[in-house]
Amino acid sequence: MLLFSLTHLLLIALAGSLHPRWSRPDLLFAVTVPAGFRHTPPGRALLRRYRVLGWAGTLLLAVAVILSSNQPQTTFALAVAGGAAVWLAAFLLSRRATLPSAVAPDSLRTASLAAPPDDVPGGILALLAPLLILAARALECALRWDEIPARFPIHWGLHGPDRWTAKTPQAVYGQFAAFALLSAVMLFLAWATVHRGRAGHRSRRIGAAGLMALGWLFALAFPPLEGMALSLPYAPFLLLGVTAVWLVAMVRSGWGTAPGGHPTANEHWRLGLFYWNPDDPALILEKRFGLGWTLNFAHPASWAVLAAVAGVPLLLHFAVS
């Protein structure tokens, strides 16, 4: 567990250190700056200070993690939560130091004249299929109820199943509901990335493809019940693999190497992380710092998405309680 925790801490530190490279050149620590500012002496000094703060905090945290190694659960929580907090603090301090250099965003936008098809990969069928698969499996459970073992696994670790529960309708169908909700959230966000997203066409397509892959994975990797089909082995590793491929695809697509075609004003960003603009119809837009997307928290659908995500662990807890 100590090695596992330190590995996670190192991965968090590496990601935090690389985050500024994945921001557009007209952004530094989520602040709009002149396009070449990060290559000037003040810009390089800000970047150096950010990394020094982050790595110094990571080293101190590594010592604390090692000292807590006699409490495995505390060790892992300290590494993950502490690592994220260290780099978040480094970001916020660096953002505050960057604000005096802020400028208004460039109003010039770029657009392709080729008018590519604006839809999710695979169309509506690819969006609905994972939910239809889960519905078919729920029906299969009902038809083959007597074949489900009296106790079945509900959690898998690195060495196989490590938690079981008794067969009840609550346990079986509560899990179905949780996985269906999680899959539906991913698929809705994939649709919204294309149709309600603020990003270039290529970024939207890559974002939608990654979210759809996760939606399919959650549907196909439903915790296997003995004798059931359509369960993917090694689902946690597949989840990590899909996420890694998605990140590589975003980096190779040129994420963060060109000014964005959809500028947003600094005043609509809270702490540089949370976008709030009731006048913007977009639901999803590119993050200002690092890879990925964020929500427009002034949009009511954003809170519905957050409520659905929060409902997944509640459903899983209800299923096994």
Residue with the two structure tokens 């250190």: 17
Structural contact between residues 217 and 233, judged by C-beta atoms closer than 8 angstroms: no
Question: When comparing pLDDT for 50 and 261, which is higher?
Answer: 50
Give the pLDDT score at 81: 92
Is the pLDDT at 180 greater than 50? The verdict is yes
Give the pLDDT score at 112: 46
Structural contact between residues 192 and 284, judged by C-beta atoms closer than 8 angstroms: yes
Region 38-55: mean pLDDT is: 94
Give the pLDDT score at 115: 45
> Which contacts of 314-318 are long-range, i.e. CB under 8 A and separated by 24 or more positions?
315/174, 315/175, 315/177, 315/178, 315/181, 316/174, 316/175, 316/178, 318/170, 318/174
Is the pLDDT at 227 greater than 50? The verdict is no
Structural contact between residues 40 and 114, judged by C-beta atoms closer than 8 angstroms: no
Of the candidates 180, 174, 176, the one whose C-alpha atom is nearest the C-alpha of residue 130 is: 180
Is the pLDDT at 91 greater than 90? The verdict is yes
Of the candidates 302, 113, 123, the one whose C-alpha atom is nearest the C-alpha of residue 196 is: 302
Of the candidates 272, 110, 121, the one whose C-alpha atom is nearest the C-alpha of residue 200 is: 110
What are the residue ranges of helices labelled H in 200-253? 201-220, 235-252
pLDDT band at residue 236 using 50, 70 and 90 as cut-offs: low
Region 43-65: mean pLDDT is: 94
Residue with the two structure tokens 């003040």: 42
Lowest mean pLDDT among 165-169, 240-244, 257-261: 257-261
Q: Distance (Å, rounded) from C-alpha 111 to C-alpha 228?
A: 48
Give the pLDDT score at 103: 86
Cβ-proximal residues to 75 (8 Å cutoff; 6+ apart), any chain: 1, 2, 5, 65, 68, 69
Region 180-195: mean pLDDT is: 90
Give the pLDDT score at 88: 95
Region 237-248: mean pLDDT is: 73
Give the pLDDT score at 179: 85
Domain locations in the chain? 2-101, 123-320
Q: Distance (Å, rounded) from C-alpha 254 to C-alpha 252?
A: 5
**One-letter amino acid for residue 123 of the chain:** G
Give the pLDDT score at 157: 58
